[in-house]
């Protein structure tokens, strides 16, 4: 099939907005295009028009599969281990030294590996029961996976290596049971976590947090959407609270970057310093 044109991508984003109320018009065009191209191949659509027709049919099940494909869900436990060392050794001790209980938001939590990483870190610091964690994602199917806490065993080698490099104090197998090629995570770790659907594009702040992790999500947004989402995070943080983004992301180009200071430039940790 021929390469997709900008006009076709616009047709698609208009349709997704009008029919399903999901606005992808400010997603970074190049990766959005790659994902659509992938869907065309995966579902063996021979023309772009046949994909449009399928979506026009308002097939909810297909739409949700489409949504899962469009939003990149790749994740790991203790992704970027040096970030988790920074959290364990500096960020979390500082926040807990100033607060008895803290609120953490994982925005774009995908299948939950990041949430388990946080819960394990807090457990090992003896602080899990003092943290209230909310984990959100646009994609209901991936949120269900996060709730299930079942990870393909083939992923656990990398996860365990990350955990070790992230200065975990045991071995990762302490936290899961292996059965039938799958790792069943210890659900006690996340028994108090609230998982909920939340779309960063269209929804507003819903609570206040001491720490927000939004890692490897805004990389798929264009500058204007990054600005918009950063305003939501700014509103969702208490003053002098922390925001962590992915290692390839940065706040410095955003409109309200002057309301944040850099805590750790390597690990992309920022602090809200102005209301």
Euclidean distance between CA atoms 117 and 49, whole angstroms: 42
By the rule CB under 6 A, 71 interacts with ligand SAM: yes
Q: Please say which residue, 198 or 268, places its beta carbon nearer to ligand SAM.
A: 198
Q: Please say which residue, 117 or 241, places its beta carbon nearer to ligand SAM.
A: 117
By the rule CB under 6 A, 267 interacts with ligand SAM: no
CB of 2 to ligand SAM, least distance (A): 27
By the rule CB under 6 A, 35 interacts with ligand SAM: no
CB of 246 to ligand SAM, least distance (A): 6
What is the three-state SS of the chain?
Answer: CCCCCHHHHHHHHHHHHHHHCCCCCCECHHHHHHHHHHHHHHCCCCCHHHHHHHHHCCCHHHHHHHHHHHCCCCCCCCCCHHHHHHHHHHHHHHHHHHCCCEEEEEECCCCCHHHHHHHHHHHHCCCHHHEEEEEEECCHHHHHHHHHCEEEHHHHHHHHHHHHHCCCCCCHHHHEEEECCEEEECHHHHCCCEEEECCCCCCCCCCCEEEEEECCCHHHECHHHHHHHHHHHHHHEEEEEEEEECCCCCCCCCCCHHHEEEEECCCCEEEECCC
Q: Please say which residue, 42 or 273, places its beta carbon nearer to ligand SAM.
A: 42
Comparing CA positions, the residue from 85, 80, 88 lying closest to residue 113 is 80
By the rule CB under 6 A, 36 interacts with ligand SAM: no
In angstroms and rounded to an integer, the radius of gyration of the C-alpha atoms of the chain is 19
By the rule CB under 6 A, 108 interacts with ligand SAM: yes
By the rule CB under 6 A, 13 interacts with ligand SAM: no
By the rule CB under 6 A, 144 interacts with ligand SAM: no
Instruction: Tell me the site size for ligand SAM, rule CB under 6 A.
Output: 22
Residues 176-235 that bind ligand SAM (CB under 6 A): 198-201, 215-217
Binding-site member from 25, 26, 110, 162 for ligand SAM (CB under 6 A): 110
By the rule CB under 6 A, 86 interacts with ligand SAM: no
Part of the chain binding ligand SAM (CB under 6 A), chosen from 50-58, 136-144, 149-157, 261-269:
136-144
**Longest pairwise C-alpha distance within the chain:** 59
By the rule CB under 6 A, 39 interacts with ligand SAM: no
Q: Please say which residue, 196 or 208, places its beta carbon nearer to ligand SAM.
A: 196
Q: Please say which residue, 110 or 241, places its beta carbon nearer to ligand SAM.
A: 110
Binding-site member from 139, 166, 193, 267 for ligand SAM (CB under 6 A): 139
Sites of contact with ligand SAM (CB under 6 A): 71-75, 79, 108-110, 114, 137-139, 142, 198-201, 215-217, 246
């Amino acid at each position: 099939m021929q390469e997709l044109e900008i006009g076709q991508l616009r047709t698609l984003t208009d349709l997704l907005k009008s029919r399903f109320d999901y606005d992808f018009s400010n997603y970074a065009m190049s990766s959005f295009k790659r994902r659509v191209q992938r869907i065309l191949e995966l579902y063996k659509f021979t023309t772009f028009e046949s994909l449009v027709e399928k979506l026009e049919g308002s097939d909810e099940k297909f739409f949700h599969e489409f949504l899962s494909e469009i939003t990149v869900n790749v994740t790991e436990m203790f992704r970027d281990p040096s970030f988790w060392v920074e959290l364990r050794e500096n960020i979390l001790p500082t926040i807990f030294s100033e607060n008895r209980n803290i609120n953490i938001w994982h925005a774009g939590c995908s299948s939950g590996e990041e949430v388990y990483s946080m819960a394990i870190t807090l457990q090992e610091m003896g602080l899990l029961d003092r943290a209230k964690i909310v984990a959100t994602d646009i994609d209901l199917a991936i949120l269900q996976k996060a709730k299930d806490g079942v990870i393909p065993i083939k992923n656990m080698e990398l996860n365990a290596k990350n955990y070790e490099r992230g200065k975990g104090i045991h071995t990762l197998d302490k936290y899961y049971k292996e059965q039938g090629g799958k790792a069943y995570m210890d659900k006690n770790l996340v028994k108090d976590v609230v998982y909920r659907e939340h779309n960063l594009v269209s929804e507003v702040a819903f609570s206040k947090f001491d720490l927000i992790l939004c890692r490897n999500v805004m990389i798929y947004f264009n500058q204007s959407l990054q600005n918009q989402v950063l305003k939501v995070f700014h509103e969702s943080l208490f003053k002098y609270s922390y925001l962590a983004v992915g290692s390839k992301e940065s706040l410095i180009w955003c409109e309200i970057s002057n309301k944040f200071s850099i805590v750790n430039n390597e690990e992309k940790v920022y602090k809200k310093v102005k209301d």
